[in-house]
Amino acid sequence: MASLTGTETASSSGAPWRWIYDVFLSFRGADTRNNFVDHLYAALIQKSVHTFKDDEQLETGMSIPLELLRPRFKIFSRNYATSSWCLDELVKIMECRNLAGQTVIPVFYHVEPSVVRHQIGSFADAFAKHEVRYKEKVPGWRKALIEATNISGVDVSNTANGRESKCIEILVDKIVQEKSHMVSSVVEQFVGADSLVENIQPFSLHK
């Protein structure tokens, strides 16, 4: 499983997870795994964006430290709310965003943002069942959904005239630009550190 490999790599090297993956794809597998998500994943990999795809292999009770994965594509689809796993994960993702300012990009696939925000339509049906089995979790799930829809995201049906391939291109370009910016920032930090060392060395030599 990909998550085990990542865990072992992180623990053996001492490197934090956040340096292992550039992007985390979170989605409802039954709706998007073999279409939109598969194409988005392939496009990201093609651009050398190291991507963690949260697929059905993780729905076995295994937990992963979400704070290490950045940024996150949260893909909402028609049957998204039927999964308690997805809703629990969303709560964690929003907590990480609120605490650490990590990037979350909501993507609405064949579902209106208003349906997600107000939990109507297919989301209302799902929550009616959750109220019986997961009553104590429902308020947190609803809050997380509202918070997620307040973030600037992408409505696939209303982007590029509904052309999914173009929408994916837009999403990938956004991530590539962000990745380039992050690399530039790290380089600047190292350059700044070198300058600081150069300024300190003459003083040290006179001691």
**Looking at this protein, which amino acid is placed at residue 152?**
S
Q: Cα separation of 116 and 124, whole Å? A: 9
**Looking at this protein, which amino acid is placed at residue 42?**
A
Q: Cα separation of 175 and 49, whole Å? A: 8
**Which residue's entry shows tokens 């490999």?**
5
Annotated catalytic residue 89? yes
Tell how far CA 20 is from the center of its chain: 14
What does the radius of gyration of the chain's CA atoms come to, in whole angstroms? Answer: 20
The catalytic position among 56, 67, 89, 147 is 89
Active-site positions read 89
